[in-house]
C-alpha cells in the first residue's frame, strides 16, 4: 500500500514531466502545432464584457480594447453590469460617453457571467464574439491575432495567452505567474497540436457567433441535479464546441493580462471555482463517454480524464497517508526535493521570461513554496468542491447589490 501511495503522490510530477517533454518536442519539431494565420481577415468583432464589482478597472479594460491595432469601425464593446455593489456601472457609462462604439447595459437582477454574456450578445452585431473578463487588459495586437486564426472554417473558437498584471505583488501572485505561463506556453501547446484545446480561458475567448448561438441555451440551462450552475462557463463552452466536431486553438501571440488574487481568501475562491469546473467536466465526460470517444482525439480523452481522476483520488490518499503515519515517515522527507525542483523551474522560467516577457519575471526562491500550496490545495479545495457543486458565483468579486424594496 505504501508503494501505491508513493506512486499516486509522484504521478503529478510524472505527468508534468511527460507533458513538458512531449510539448517541447511538438513546439520545436512539429509545424502543425501552430495554426496558419491570415491577417487580411478583418471581420466585425463584438467584445462581450460582463462586469461585476470591477470598479474603475473596467474602464482601463475598455481603454485597452479601443487602443487595439484593428479597424476601430469594426469593433464594438458591449458592457453589461450584473448588479454590482460598487460603481462599476458608472465607469462603463463613462466609457460609453467617451467612445461611440461602447454600449453600457445593466442586468435587472444578478444573473452570473454565463447569463450576462448571453444578454450582451443580444446587442452585438459582430461575426466574431470575444468573451472576456472585466479586468482583462488587451495587448495592442490581441484582436488582430485572434481574428487571423479563423480562416479555417473548422475552427470554432480561439483563445489568447493570459499573463498576470500584478506578478510581483507578493508570493501568491508570483507563484500564479509561473502557473499561468506554464499553462499557456507549455500545457496547452500539446492540445494545440490536435486542435482540441479542452478549456479556453474566459479571460479571452473568441468564438464564431453562429457557434455561440448554437450552444447558448445549453450554457444557460446547465444545472447540477436541477440546481443552476453559474461558474465554469468557459470550460463548458469549449467542451460543447468540441463535441460538435469543431476545432479549438490557443494563439499565444494574442496576449492579455489579468490580476491574480493577492490574498489567501481570494486565491482559495478562485481555485475552488476552477476545481468545481474541472470536476463537473470530468463527471460529464464520464456520463457522455461514448460520444466523447467517437468525436475527440485520443489525446484529448486523456487530457479530460487523467487530471480529474487524480484530483478525485488525492483526498482519499491524503487521509490514508495521515492516518497510517506515512506522511510523517515519507512525505516530509521528500519536501526538500520538491522545493528544489520548483526553485529550478523558477530559474528556468526567469531565463525565458527575461527574453520574451520581462514583466513576468519572479523570485525563484518564493516559487519553491508552490509545491506546498499544491499539497494543501489538492486536498482541501477538492473536498469543498465535491460538496458544493450546487454553488456558483463570481468567486473573488464579492456579493451583488441588494434588491431594491418598495417604499
**C-beta separation of 49 from 81 below 8 A:** no
Instruction: Output the average pLDDT for the chain.
Output: 86
CA distance 62 to 79: 9
Whether pTM exceeds 0.95: no
Residues 241 and 379: their CA atoms lie apart, in Å, by 31
Residue in this structure with the C-alpha cell 512539429, named with its chain if needed: 30
Report the pLDDT value the prediction gives residue 27, as an integer from 0 to 100: 75
> Grid coordinates 474603475 are at which residue?
56
Query: Would the pLDDT of 407 be above 60?
Result: no
pLDDT of residue 398 exceeding 60: no
Highest mean pLDDT out of 1-5, 20-24, 230-234, 326-330: 230-234
pLDDT in tens, 67-101: 999 999 999 999 999 999 999 999 999 999 999 99
Using CA atoms, how far apart are residues 161 and 325, in angstroms rounded to an integer?
43
Phi/psi at 246 (5° precision): -90, 165
- From the number of C-beta atoms within 10 Å of its C-beta (0-12, 13-18, 19+), residue 106 rates as middle
Share of the chain above pLDDT 90, in %: 53
| pLDDT tens digits, one per residue of 293-304 | 999 999 899 889
Specify the higher pLDDT residue, 230 or 329: 230
Count other Cβ atoms within 10 Å, centred on residue 223: 9
Q: Is 231 helix (H, G, I), strand (E, B) or coil?
A: coil
The confidence score (pLDDT) of residue 9 equals: 62
- Collapsed DSSP state (helix, strand, coil) of residue 257: strand
Digit-coded pLDDT (tens) for 176-211: 888 898 889 888 888 999 999 999 999 999 999 999
CA torsion 182-356-165-124 (nearest 10°) is: -90
> For 140-186, what is each residue's pLDDT tens digit?
999 999 999 999 999 999 999 999 999 988 888 988 888 898 889 88
For residues 220 and 226, what is the distance between their CA atoms, to the nearest angstrom? 13
DSSP state of 105: E
Amino acid at each position: 500500500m505504501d508503494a501505491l501511495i508513493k506512486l499516486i503522490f509522484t504521478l503529478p510530477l510524472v505527468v508534468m514531466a511527460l507533458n513538458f517533454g512531449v510539448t517541447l518536442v511538438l513546439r520545436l519539431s512539429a509545424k502543425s502545432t501552430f495554426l496558419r494565420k491570415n491577417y487580411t481577415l478583418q471581420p466585425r468583432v463584438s467584445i462581450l464584457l460582463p462586469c461585476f464589482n470591477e470598479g474603475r478597472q473596467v474602464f482601463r479594460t475598455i481603454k485597452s480594447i479601443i487602443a487595439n491595432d484593428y479597424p476601430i469601425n469594426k469593433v464594438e464593446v458591449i458592457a453589461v453590469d450584473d448588479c454590482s455593489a460598487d460603481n462599476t456601472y458608472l465607469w462603463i457609462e463613462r466609457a460609453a460617453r467617451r467612445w461611440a462604439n461602447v454600449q453600457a447595459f445593466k442586468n435587472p437582477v444578478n444573473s452570473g457571467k454565463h447569463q450576462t454574456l448571453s444578454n450582451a450578445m443580444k446587442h452585438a452585431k459582430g461575426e466574431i464574439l470575444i468573451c472576456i473578463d472585466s479586468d482583462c487588459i488587451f495587448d495592442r495586437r490581441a484582436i488582430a491575432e485572434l481574428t487571423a486564426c479563423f480562416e479555417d472554417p473548422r475552427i470554432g473558437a480561439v483563445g489568447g495567452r493570459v499573463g498576470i498584471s500584478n506578478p510581483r505583488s507578493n508570493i501568491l501572485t508570483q507563484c500564479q505567474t509561473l502557473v499561468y505561463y506554464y499553462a499557456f506556453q507549455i500545457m496547452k501547446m500539446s492540445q494545440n497540436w490536435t486542435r482540441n484545446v479542452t478549456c479556453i480561458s474566459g479571460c479571452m475567448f473568441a468564438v464564431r457567433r453562429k457557434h455561440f448561438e448554437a450552444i447558448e441555451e445549453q450554457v444557460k440551462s446547465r444545472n447540477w441535479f436541477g440546481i443552476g450552475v453559474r461558474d465554469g462557463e468557459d470550460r463548458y463552452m469549449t467542451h460543447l464546441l468540441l463535441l460538435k466536431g469543431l476545432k479549438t486553438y490557443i494563439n499565444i501571440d494574442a496576449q492579455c493580462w489579468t490580476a491574480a488574487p493577492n490574498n489567501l481568501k481570494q486565491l482559495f475562491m478562485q481555485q475552488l471555482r476552477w476545481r468545481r469546473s474541472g470536476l463537473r467536466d470530468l463527471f460529464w465526460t464520464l456520463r457522455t463517454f461514448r460520444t466523447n470517444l467517437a468525436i475527440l482525439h485520443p489525446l484529448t480523452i486523456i487530457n479530460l480524464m487523467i487530471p480529474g481522476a487524480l484530483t478525485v483520488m488525492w483526498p482519499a490518499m491524503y487521509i490514508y497517508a495521515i492516518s497510517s503515519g506515512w506522511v510523517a515517515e515519507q512525505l516530509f522527507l521528500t519536501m526538500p526535493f520538491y522545493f528544489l525542483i520548483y526553485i529550478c523551474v523558477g530559474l528556468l522560467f526567469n531565463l525565458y521570461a527575461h527574453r520574451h516577457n520581462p514583466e513576468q519575471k519572479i523570485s525563484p526562491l518564493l516559487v519553491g513554496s508552490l509545491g506546498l500550496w499544491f499539497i494543501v490545495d489538492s486536498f482541501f479545495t477538492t473536498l469543498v468542491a465535491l460538496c458544493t457543486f450546487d454553488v456558483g458565483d463570481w468567486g473573488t468579486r464579492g456579493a451583488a447589490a441588494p434588491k431594491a424594496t418598495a417604499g
